[in-house]
Amino acid sequence: MLRNQEQILSKIANNDGHGENSAFFDGWKAYDSDPYHPTQNPNGVIQMGLAENQLSMDLVEEWVRNNPQASICTPEGASRFKDIAIYQDYHGLPEFRIAVARFMEKVRGNRVRFDPDRIVMSGGATGTQETLAFCLADPGDALLVPTPYYPGNDRDLTWRTGIELIPVVCDSSNDFKMTRDALETAYNKAQETNTKVKGLLLNNPSNPLGTVLDRETLSMAINFINDKNIHLICDEIYSATVFDEPGFISIAEILQESPDTNPELIHIVYSLSKDLGFPGFRVGILYSYNDAVVTCARKMSSFGLVSTQTQLLVASMLSDEEFMEKFLAESTARLCARRGTLRQGLAQMGVGILKGSAGLYCWMDLRRLLKAATFEAEMELWRVIVNDVRINVSPGASFHCSEPGWFRVCFANMDDETMRVALGRISKLVMQSNKNSESRKPCRRRSKLEISLSFRRLDEIMMSPHSPMTSPLVRART
């Protein structure tokens, strides 16, 4: 007879801190079990719940073919095999840290400088966030996080560290913009329960909103953490996905303009998963202005290093100035075009999205499709979208959104034809909803939404010249 698992395994092994049992991950499972393919499985689930940047992968593939010396697994690069394959200092290859620092500067318009000696690598942004949490907080301490926020934060920052995340409630009345009053309210609630707040976590550009933080908001955030003497963590992993105005402003720029701020309280999380589309490379970066954090994080990075083979390839690519200029320009142009396609297609149905200028997704407003202004009604609609419409989108409740009816829709992980099919399916959902409840009013007034007045046919909207891909980016089952 099996012994009780709670008695023989650890608390971590027995708890549900990973958060896998949620709608956010359930949608992925629905796709994995029945993925869409245009010929082999045309009725399968279309994946619009994965923020993956595949629109410019052809450019990367071309560079790899033209630069075989960048890999030790080619005849041209094999001479470096021994040097790369043996043990390496966990500081990382010098050329890797220098290349990453210069690339971060380029993305920020060369308005700031980054010291390569402060670059700490980790296994993706997931590992970076957890490492930073271990450095800054003890079990029972807390970080403030504006809502809505990425569901993975609950796993990355709390599961193994034992810290808490306290929502800073934002809503559509001001397009989910964070305010000082909201920060003070969340901070004071923590004080009432004797919870020690150790920092504020910001995601800029925002996942899931697709918006960027303006200079005023960033300055307010720095003043807040300076007044409270707590840390400021800025997750800037989508910084090179900004394709329109307003542009991206890094917290590093604001720090330069804030001489009274203690720089030891400022930390930046970065990766190449979103900006370059390399989530499989697991390249996460921590940049801290705190010497003690850099030292501790570097020691902890031995639990999740980036392979030296990956470091070598990435350093070579990032150091190719001509290629990176071309890639960044083309990538943002393609992201802008694809988001425009989705926005216009949804507008044809009377569905709005929050105005944004960044990211691989949009924040879609389906509040008028809810049977009631409740999260139960949101989940009911989500189940219809996944099970009947056959599209995986992520419900706002997964992002701790304060209002039901918002959904994150990803658009950069598929080709034009798959996007056309997805829009057709959403259109049928909206038409059916309109037919069933023509008299239903919106549950709440609309935020500042992007709604086009164009009356072009959906097929015309989908005629985009920007996609280089010829096959859907989905996993075919054979």
Active site (catalytic) residues = 150, 235, 237, 274
Q: What angle do CA 4, 5, 10 make, to 5 degrees?
A: 135
Report residue 52 as tokens. 């993956």
Sign of CA dihedral 310, 60, 65, 319: negative
Of 175, 261, 185, 182, the closest CA to residue 214 belongs to 175
Helix (H) or strand (E) holding 218: helix 215-228
Query: What span, in angstroms and rounded, lies between the C-alpha atoms of 201 and 82?
Result: 41
Query: What span, in angstroms and rounded, lies between the C-alpha atoms of 231 and 157?
Result: 14
Phi, psi of 421 (to 5 degrees): -65, -45
Edge-to-edge strand list for the sheet holding 394-395: 394-395, 406-410, 361-365, 352-354, 449-450
Name the DSSP letter for residue 118.
G
Contact 46, 386 (CB under 8 A): no
Max Cα separation, the chain? Answer: 72
Query: What span, in angstroms and rounded, lies between the C-alpha atoms of 24 and 125?
Result: 18
Bridge partners of residue 233, in order along the sequence? 201, 267
Report residue 267 as tokens. 């930390």
Query: What span, in angstroms and rounded, lies between the C-alpha atoms of 293 and 64?
Result: 35
Query: What span, in angstroms and rounded, lies between the C-alpha atoms of 370 and 443?
Result: 8
Q: How, if at all, do strands 406-410 and 361-365 pair?
A: antiparallel
Query: What span, in angstroms and rounded, lies between the C-alpha atoms of 273 and 270?
Result: 9
- Virtual CA dihedral for 397, 179, 239, 423, nearest 10 degrees? 40
Q: What does the buried/exposed string (b/e) look like for 316-339 if buried means 16 or more CB atoms within 10 Å of the residue's CB?
A: bbbbbeebbeebbebbbebbbbbb
Coil, helix or strand at residue 394: strand
Query: What span, in angstroms and rounded, lies between the C-alpha atoms of 455 and 347?
Result: 9
Contact 450, 355 (CB under 8 A): yes
Q: Quick count: other Cβ atoms within 10 Å of Cβ 26?
A: 18
Of 421, 461, 423, 459, the closest CA to residue 36 belongs to 421
